[in-house]
Structure 1
Amino acid sequence: MRNPFTADDAAMLLIDHQVGTAKLARNIDHAHLLANARALARTAAETGMPLVLTTSQEDRFQGPLFDDLQQIAPDAHAARVERPGVVDAWTYAPFKDAVVATGRKRLIMAGLTNDVCTVYPAISAIEDGYEVQVVVDAGGSPTQEADDIAVARMRQAGVTITSTNQVMAELATDWASPTGQAIQGIMYEEILKPLVEG
């Protein structure tokens, strides 16, 4: 692979990982979803990647961000972009401004739900000239059909579809490097440990 995303040239965007929106992700196990979201947040925090968090209508059923995200990335949590209800986060100026401020043109996105909260900003960012990877298993949708349709729509628009382990391995580049060792540790603790030791 000639030009992989790296921790030095990509930014991590986590969209609407809120306690209420998580209830709408019915096509994925919630423990698996949370582990993947934690792994992405930790990867950004522990490698120095820019991490942008956003929420929608925290005072309604969507609720606050997962507590884990505040614990993992307190600064990013404090700086989160609280949207009043704009569906396509990319069209909400404070969110887009926060992404632009990272200086990165390669974006890794995950969100809840894939079929509403992720599909639109992913496509909008592509239209604005960004390279975008969407981590499908760090999100979910009310049905598998809805998730499949969102993935197909994003892929058709030029979004690269990926998984948590896959994008983490891409960012690692070399497991023996300092970045690779850090990411490998996160992957093991958050995702692989139950498989290896279970």
Structure 2
Amino acid sequence: MGRWEPNARGRLEQAALELYAERGYEQTTVAEIAKRAGLTERTYFRHFADKREVLFAGAAALRELLVTTVADAPADATPIDAVAAALDAVAGMIGGRREGARQRQSVIVANAELRERELIKLAALSAGLAEALRGRGVGEPAASLAAEAGIAVFKVSFEQWIGEARDRELPEIIRQLLDELKAVTAGR
């Protein structure tokens, strides 16, 4: 190994994305990821439990941002408006990383195990949102419905953002889809 360089975690994430795109998820080993990043396997396992988790490393931070934003929303905010604020915060966090998000998603879509892990992540985000809404005094089933609807809006917005909506930014897409959801639930 050469001289120590900063950002081992980021280098491992980038190396994994590159290798998964080049060779496929199943054909890539942790040893190859570590080597591409200029690190050891031991360093890899200090940061990630397995080769799958390198793609989901930001899930805890994402959940924390959603929960904190809902908790900090104005007291008079409706449940869906608190969720909208949280989605806007998330869009700000990931909005500048479209190409990386596109690469990550293409790896996930190509592998059933990773698609399952992505669904687990989305379910955990929804559960976190519902918990935060209940903490604001929102009862059931309203808390769970608002949380699930918010995650559905996020999922569809994200897919549009990395797909055909190349000329639009994620916050804009989220706001449009939230407006459409509100119109649908209002019966318009």
TM-score, normalised via structure 2 length: 0.25
Question: Which structure's residues are more often helix, by fraction?
Answer: 2
Larger RCO: Structure 1 or Structure 2 (Cα < 8 Å, ≥ 6 residues apart)? 1
Name whichever structure is richer in strand by fraction.
1
Taking structure 1 as the reference length, what is the TM-score of the superposition?
A: 0.24
